[in-house]
Chain A
Amino acid sequence: MENPYVPFPMRIEAVTVETEDENIKTFELAFMSKEEGERFVYTPGQFAEISVFGKGEAPFGMASTPTRPGRLEFSVSRIGVVTGALHQMERGDVVGVRGPLGNGYPLESFKGKNLVLIGGGFGFSTLRSLTNFMLDDSNRKDYGDLTVIYGARSPGLLLYKKDLEGWREREDLRLHLTVDKGGNGWQGHVGFVPEVTRAMAPNPEKAYAVVCGPPAMIHFTLPVLKELGFGDDRILLSLEMRMKCGIGKCGRCNVGSKYICSDGPVFSQHELSRLTGEARG
């Protein structure tokens, strides 16, 4: 029987400093055996537990897309013990990985629909995965209009600048970048994500909104989506909670009768509204 607690090793292939404050780095990891790579079949929105041996484990959503197999990418904000240790690691170092864990975004339901992806700050990593997945040549035809609204505090804190440039060039994706404070030739929007969402007024018809970001952003974006006409079952959220086991045993990420790790992390607003207190935020 597969032991769900034992990670497999992956080698750090590249480290990219994402933000000007250097607090967020993206780690590109390579599988060390072909079988492990083939076994790791994932969906955007799923996550993995990354081990820094001697320090422990922490969960991260896959920032890479399964359409580019062989490598996994994780964006890591330096904030605690494990993430601090990860930031010290370099190309060639080995980490442990357990996953894929969680449910991921409901790609089947998305088929034939228009998608509005709304992200803020660090929470953008799984939306990057989802965007790149849908933009892949073999998938693009399965989805309708694609709108990405992405905000950060300042231009220097936007992640995945290369991707953003590539997306801007495309005609099959509407990209709205916004920052709390502009300057230095910033040409995008200035303002919070909820305001920009209201101003851009994405059409709710045949559409899903996928929201991932800090609690305040979610809190103020939900009423805007409602106003625009998005039903609760058409709003998807990726939740965050402290996690350990990632397989619904350790009790840590329990919210209402759900575990964020095994029942989520992706829930519709409809599901969340039926859960108790804590899930309603």
Chain B
Amino acid sequence: MTDARPTRRFAQLALVALIGLGVIAQARPALAQGPREPQAEQFVQTRAQRIISVLADKKQSVAQKKATFHQGVDELADVPRITNFVLGKYARTITPDQRQRFAAAFRVYAESVYQNRISDYNGEILKVTGSTVRKPGDVIVNTTISGGQLGQPVQVSWRVLGGGTSWKVVDVQFKGVWLAITQQQDFVSTIDNAGGNIDVLISQLQRDAQRPASR
């Protein structure tokens, strides 16, 4: 089979060329991605890292961590805006009384979800890698979180609204999945299936918040 030889040589050449291409591709600097927003980046770097550090701090008791987390959420996130967003189309029809009860139940539920994961944090480091302005006052800040128990660094994006030195996070994206958008679909589906009755969602949130971590 003398015919196989040129084919094999070609295959080897092609392989070497492709490897070279892959290595060269690394050498090219990444292109700039439009305007950045340094103050929004600074906000995410400081506030988000602080929460991660507190959760990983072994010197603090669980109760202390929960208290710090509760406070940190208000500093980091725009809770009223998120509360409105996750209701989706039902934000239009909710009564003031329901809104009040929903806001309280949602807050407790959301905190219990994250508090159940306190043990997952172990000294991760957050590093801002860039940001893009969608429109004035609406910015996506890209970060890499590494270290701790993570095998590989993970990319996390934060959507922040505000201006000047005053910013608040409204959504967080990981692996393409936005938390608030997903939460909205969860809640809207629940209310849809309850025939549009928002009280069903509220009572389910109250019940779920009491539930211990699944494992």
The answer to whether A and B interact is no
